Amino acid sequence: MSRQLASKWRKTAALMKYPVAAVHIPQTKAFNSGNLLQMLSRYGMVYVKPIVGGGGYGVIRVSASGGAYRYTHMKTTRSFASFSLMYRSLVRVKARRKYLIQQGIHLATIQGRPVDYRVKVVKTERGWVFRSLVGRLARPGLCVTNLSKGGTMLSGRRALGLSLPHISGRHKRREMRSLTLTCTYIMESQFPGVGQLGFDYGLDYSGKIWILEVNTRPQ
């Protein structure tokens, strides 16, 4: 049976050891007041995610602008006049679950809806092979693209063509596959026994590929 790893923190830390992967990983820190304020000051927008969990459940988009703070959870957005008020509310929303903070990436969009990519690989007797490379378009009004949250699946070719028409989609698909193989071998070396992996990638408007998450039980 394929080894499964639930902790986003452990998977991110494993890839961060290798510069070839680390340059594609958004800054990630443990959830606490000091780290959140620091990252909002630096990036303006971050994602607060459960360390264990998938399907987009529990993901919160947090932003700061003009002295005001806001977060979006599911389809509800709340605004606050101070960081401390927002932080107290966030702590209540996340309850007792352990969270991390991830640098917010402004993803390329299609008609204002964020799009990201899932690349799936599996281990066979011939070695690692690609199973799919697809785009996932967020449901209108949501910041997560997961199909379980109403996202729409597109071919990778179509998603790239519609969201980044000024960039070669063929080149980007090749780049994602190359990065996937590199990261797959890293994950296998760090976690022997993994037999399938799903890499979630986001592309910003410059075309840079960001590793948003790695799944050992990809759907």
Q: Indicate the average pLDDT of the chain.
A: 91
Instruction: Judge residue 6's burial from the number of C-beta atoms within 10 Å of its C-beta, 0-12 exposed, 13-18 middle, 19 or more buried.
Output: middle
For residue range 61-78, list pLDDT tens digits in order: 999 999 999 999 878 899
In angstroms, the first-to-last Cα distance of the chain is 16
Res. 5: pLDDT tops 70? yes
pTM value is: 0.92
Burial 14-35 (b: 16+ CB within 10 A, else e): bbeeeeebeebbbebeebeeeb
In which band, very low, low, confident or very high, does the pLDDT at 141 lie, cut at 50, 70 and 90? confident
Hey, what amino acid is at 31? Answer: F
The pair of structure tokens assigned to 49 is: 């995610």
Percent of the chain past pLDDT 90, that is, above it, reads 77
Domains and CATH numbers, the chain: 8-24+106-215 (3.30.470.20), 28-103 (no CATH)
Triad 171, 176, 152: Cα angle to 5°: 100
In which band, very low, low, confident or very high, does the pLDDT at 139 lie, cut at 50, 70 and 90? confident
